[in-house]
């Protein structure tokens, strides 16, 4: 698998070309209304952001209809993991070793509202299932530990809380199988990088208290496309693209990405868009 494919509108393409970024949507805003829900923590899926693609190089009439306006949008293709890389030295942004990441930690630190691990985004193939435990996963886990103080002849019990978001955004019901979906996934907890250093801050409680408003605070996240990946961009025009839209599309490509591979749909004159 060298390329992944994404169906979208001409307007969204214009934003991608100008900003050279890919938008990640909060799970509370995707078309599957169940995805942000969990077994134990309500809509904790608001901590997860995804960018949705498909691996199928063949055009899909269903995806054209669902994700482009009357099949007049575009299907873009980019190499797998097309994002800009940042190199951080040991000691930068609290890293304990040299790190290579797709995340702009300077921006995260300046805003100081969310935290993202350096290994984001993860590329995940969506699994389609009828298993309710996968569709609505458990995310909160508590581990108890007892420590002994021999001088006082007493034991102290401490409880550690962790959140496991690995199943969120990974599973969908069988009815979505036609999408053949792959996703780039980012988990973002609503505690700033510098904020975590505050004394007496209970990070878990802070996350729980803020997660319900995370989608409003951060409805989307954006990652920059690497220059070499941007030069390999491929665009297929929707089957019902008008002559005027072709002119607009060509002008956008000439201005922002002259190296783009632009072609007409293989379905031209074969399907009729919904009115």
Residue-wise pLDDT for 100-156, tens only, equals 999 999 999 999 999 999 999 999 999 999 999 999 999 999 887 766 666 666 666
- Is residue 186 assigned to a domain? yes
- Is residue 270 assigned to a domain? no
Provide the terminal-to-terminal Cα distance of the chain, rounded to the nearest Å.
35
Reply yes or no on whether the pLDDT at 48 is more than 90. yes
- Is the model's pTM score more than 0.85? yes
Reply yes or no on whether the pLDDT at 243 is more than 90. yes
Q: Which helix (H) or strand (E) holds 224?
A: strand 220-224
Domain total in the chain: 1
Residue 180 to residues 62, 69, 203, 216, Cα–Cα distance (Å): 12, 21, 37, 29
- Is residue 161 assigned to a domain? no
Reply yes or no on whether the pLDDT at 7 is more than 90. yes
What pLDDT was estimated at residue 160?
A: 87
Question: How open is the CA angle 229-233-237, to the nearest 5 degrees?
Answer: 165
SS3 call for 29: helix
What pLDDT was estimated at residue 197?
A: 86
- Least confident range of 38-52, 114-128, 136-150, 160-174: 136-150
Helix/strand/coil (H/E/C) assignment for every residue in 44-71: HHHHEEEEEEECCCCCCHHHHHHHCHHH
What pLDDT was estimated at residue 141?
A: 95
- Is residue 151 assigned to a domain? no
The tens digit of pLDDT for each residue in 63-106 reads 999 999 999 999 999 999 999 999 999 999 889 999 999 999 99
- Is residue 158 assigned to a domain? no
Q: What is the mean pLDDT of residues 42-67?
A: 96
Tracing tokens 């899909």 back to the chain, one arrives at: 60
Q: What is the mean pLDDT of residues 188-215?
A: 92
8 Å CB contact between 43 and 212:
yes
What pLDDT was estimated at residue 202?
A: 92
- Is residue 224 assigned to a domain? yes
Q: What is the mean pLDDT of residues 40-48?
A: 96
Q: What is the mean pLDDT of residues 218-227?
A: 96
What pLDDT was estimated at residue 11?
A: 97
What pLDDT was estimated at residue 174?
A: 97
- Is residue 269 assigned to a domain? no
Reply yes or no on whether the pLDDT at 165 is more than 70. yes
- Is residue 156 assigned to a domain? no
Reply yes or no on whether the pLDDT at 1 is more than 80. no
Gap between the Cα atoms of 179 and 172, Å rounded: 10
Work out the number of other CB atoms within 10 angstroms of the CB of residue 108.
Answer: 18
Work out the number of other CB atoms within 10 angstroms of the CB of residue 148.
Answer: 10
Residue 214 to residues 6, 35, 112, 145, 191, Cα–Cα distance (Å): 26, 15, 14, 31, 10
Domain that holds residue 90: 3-128+166-263
């Amino acid at each position: 698998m060298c390329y992944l494919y994404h169906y979208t509108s001409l307007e969204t393409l214009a934003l991608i070309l100008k900003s050279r970024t890919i938008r990640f949507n909060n799970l509370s805003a995707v078309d599957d209304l169940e995805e942000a829900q969990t077994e134990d923590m309500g809509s904790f899926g608001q901590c997860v952001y995804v960018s949705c693609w498909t691996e199928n190089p063949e055009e899909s009439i269903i995806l054209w209809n669902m994700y482009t306006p009357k099949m007049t949008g575009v299907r873009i293709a980019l190499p797998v993991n097309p994002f800009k890389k940042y190199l951080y030295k040991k000691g930068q942004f609290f890293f304990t070793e040299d790190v290579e990441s797709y995340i702009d930690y300077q921006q995260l630190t300046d805003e100081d509202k969310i935290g993202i691990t350096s290994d984001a985004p993860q590329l995940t193939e969506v699994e389609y299932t009828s298993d309710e435990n996968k569709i609505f996963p458990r995310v909160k886990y508590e581990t108890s530990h007892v420590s002994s103080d021999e001088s006082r002849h007493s034991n102290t019990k401490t409880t550690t809380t962790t959140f496991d978001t690995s199943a969120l955004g990974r599973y969908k019901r069988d009815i979505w199988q036609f999408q053949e979906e792959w996703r780039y996934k980012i988990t973002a907890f609503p505690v700033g990088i510098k904020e975590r250093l505050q004394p007496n801050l209970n990070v878990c409680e802070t996350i729980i208290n803020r997660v319900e408003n995370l989608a409003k605070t951060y409805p989307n996240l954006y990652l920059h496309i690497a220059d070499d990946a941007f030069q390999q961009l491929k665009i297929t025009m929707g089957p019902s693209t008008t002559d005027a839209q072709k002119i607009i599309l060509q002008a956008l490509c000439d201005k922002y990405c002259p190296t783009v591979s632009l072609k007409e749909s293989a379905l031209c004159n074969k399907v009729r868009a919904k009115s």
